[in-house]
Amino acid sequence: MNLSIDIKPISASKIDTVDFDNLAFGSTFTDHMFVCDYRNGQWETPQIIPYAPMEMSPAASVLHYGQAVFEGMKAFKDDNGSVWLFRPEQNAKRINASAERLAIPQFPEDQFLEGLKALISLDKAWVKSGAGKSLYVRPFVFASEAGVQASAASEYRFMIICAPVASYYGGDVRVKIADHYSRAPQGGTGYAKAAGNYGGQFYPTQLAKNEGFQQVIWTDAATHEFIEEAGTMNLFFRIGDTLITAPTSDSILDGVTRKSVLSLAEHLGIKTEVRTLRVAELIEASTSGALLEIFGSGTAVVIQPIIGFGYKGKTYETPLSENSYALMLKQQLMDIQYNKAADPFNWRCKVCD
Ligand SMILES: *Cc1c(COP(=O)(O)O)cnc(C)c1O
């Protein structure tokens, strides 16, 4: 693969048309996008070009068989105007783990990181500093080959697009624990950020929304007895003073925020346990008062407190307390992300000044 990136910058930025204080999550995009095509068994010279709609064959394989994977990460601006990514090498590795599961060719990790830095540097004016503001970065790969034969494609497109965002969720989040629908079976694609994993969740999530919940907590597909994760968040449960999260498996996404929360919690002297958790144990802990907090972790939300859950028609409350682990860990993580605190783990990666 050619190491240089072919850059065709925009002639005039559209940034002045954007109201950065009123952004719906992930619906406004920056001036440029990164594009790299895979043909004849290799990745061609990557390009950075003006963000725009693109032409695609109606027979493009992705539209028929869903061969697509993606990543989600954020860039942050510190008070000196420098721009940082958070553990981007983790996303570079993970998109390839996802790609492998979907029979998509590997994208070289150094090219992934270089492409990210070049694109974000070019669009750095779109990374705003200030409370909760960041640039959401969405790398993805899809099968672009025209043809409806049901087999792995031979042509792909790797892209990165960027969306300036404020914070992800507003308001309180209550979740419904799944007792019928499943997100990911054993041996399936749950550990991959594969497009189809998400499309399949929208209907059960809509049903949960009709019942007054914002999200679904997925349980294992075989028995629905074990807690797995939420739509795009891993989950933590504070029972007593111990923070519990499920072990990653082939049905659970190995979240970068999840592993960062675990490291940070251990660093702060909070007891953590990575183990399976039964729904029955959760209900019991809630009833006895031992369940003090539930929160989700993911790039978009960082940490999202969950203030209640429903299971088989009953609801359980987990109100947010002032000395919650969720708020404390969120603050500490964000302080590292925004270069406001020391970074003992070397998680920050500078993009540009
Ligand atoms: C992306 C995602 C997460 C969170 O991963 P992060 O790397 O922390 O953003 C958790 N669960 C699912 C299903 C996801 O898609």
Structural domain count, the chain: 2
Distance 346 CA to ligand 1 centre (A): 21
pLDDT for position 168: 64
Check whether 107 has a pLDDT greater than 60. yes
Question: CATH number of the domain that 51 lies in?
Answer: 3.30.470.10
Same-domain pairing of 135 and 260: no
Indicate if 34 and 111 belong to the same structural domain: yes
Distance 71 CA to ligand 1 centre (A): 9
Atom number in ligand 1 closest to CA 91: 7
> Which structure tokens are listed for 159?
């892209």
**CA-260 nearest atom, ligand 1:** 8
pLDDT at 170: 61
The reply to whether 60 and 158 lie within a common domain is yes
Task: Examine the domain organization and report whether 182 and 124 are in the same domain.
Answer: no
Q: Is 296 in the pocket of ligand 1 (CB under 6 A)?
A: no
Is 52 in the same domain as 121? Answer: yes
The residue out of 131, 165, 199 marking a domain boundary is 165
Tell me: the pLDDT tens digits for 122-139?
A: 999 999 998 889 999 999
Structure tokens at 260: 């960062």
What are the pLDDT digits (tens) for 278-333? 999 999 999 999 999 999 999 999 999 999 999 999 999 998 888 899 999 999 99
Q: Which atom of ligand 1 is nearest to the CA of 257?
A: 8
Write the pLDDT tens digit of every residue in 52-83: 999 999 999 999 999 999 999 999 999 999 99
In the reported structure, the alpha carbon of residue 192 is separated from the centroid of ligand 1 by a whole-number distance in angstroms of: 10
Residue 265 structure tokens: 């919690």
What's the pTM?
A: 0.96
User: Based on the domain organization, do 143 and 22 belong to the same domain?
Assistant: yes
Residue 58: is it exposed, middle or buried by C-beta count within 10 angstroms (0-12/13-18/19+)? exposed
- Calpha distance 57→53 (Å, rounded): 13
Residue 344 in domain: no
Assess whether 307 and 331 both reside in one domain.
Answer: yes
Percent of the chain at pLDDT exceeding 90: 93
Which of 70, 73, 169, 232 most suits a substitution to test ligand 1, by most atoms within 8 Å of the C-beta?
A: 232
SS3 state of residue 325: helix
In this structure, is residue 196 part of a structural domain?
yes
Is the shortest distance between the CB of 193 and ligand 1 below 6 Å?
A: yes
Our answer on whether the CB atom of 135 is closer than 6 Å to any ligand 1 atom is no
Nearest ligand 1 atom to alpha carbon 71: 1
Domain that holds residue 286: 174-337
- Residue 217 Cβ contacting ligand 1 at under 6 Å: no
Ligand 1 atom index nearest CA of 299: 9
- At 249-280, the pLDDT tens digits run 999 999 999 999 999 999 999 999 999 999 99
Measured by CA distance, the residue closest to atom 13 of ligand 1 is: 232
Answer yes or no: is the C-beta of 72 below 6 A from any ligand 1 atom: yes
Instruction: Check residue 320 and give its pLDDT.
Output: 87
Give the model confidence (pLDDT) of 200-246 as tens digits: 999 999 999 999 999 999 999 999 999 999 989 999 999 999 999 99
pLDDT of residue 42: 97
Please report the pLDDT score of residue 58 as a whole number: 98
Probe ligand 1: pick from 89, 138, 253, 303, max atoms within 8 Å of CB?
253
The pLDDT tens digits for 140-199 are 999 999 999 999 999 999 999 999 998 765 678 999 999 999 999 999 999 999 999 999
State the closest ligand 1 atom to the C-alpha of 72, by its place in the atom list counted from 1: 9
User: Which regions of the chain does DSSP assign to beta strands (E)?
Assistant: 6-7, 32-39, 42-43, 47-50, 68-70, 73-77, 83-86, 134-143, 156-165, 174-177, 215-217, 234-239, 242-245, 271-274, 291-298, 302-306, 308-311, 314-317, 348-352
Nearest to 259 by CA among 83, 111, 89: 89
350 lies in some domain: no
Residue range 104-113: mean pLDDT, rounded: 97
Q: Ligand 1 atom closest to Cα of 300?
A: 9
pLDDT of residue 25: 86
Residue 179 sits in the same domain as residue 321: yes
Inside any domain, residue 331? yes
182 domain residue, yes or no: yes
Q: Classify strands 242-245 and 271-274 as parallel, antiparallel or unpaired.
A: parallel
* CB of 69 sitting under 6 A from ligand 1: no
Asked, for residue 219, whether it belongs to a domain, the answer is yes
Do 155 and 178 lie in one domain? The reply is no
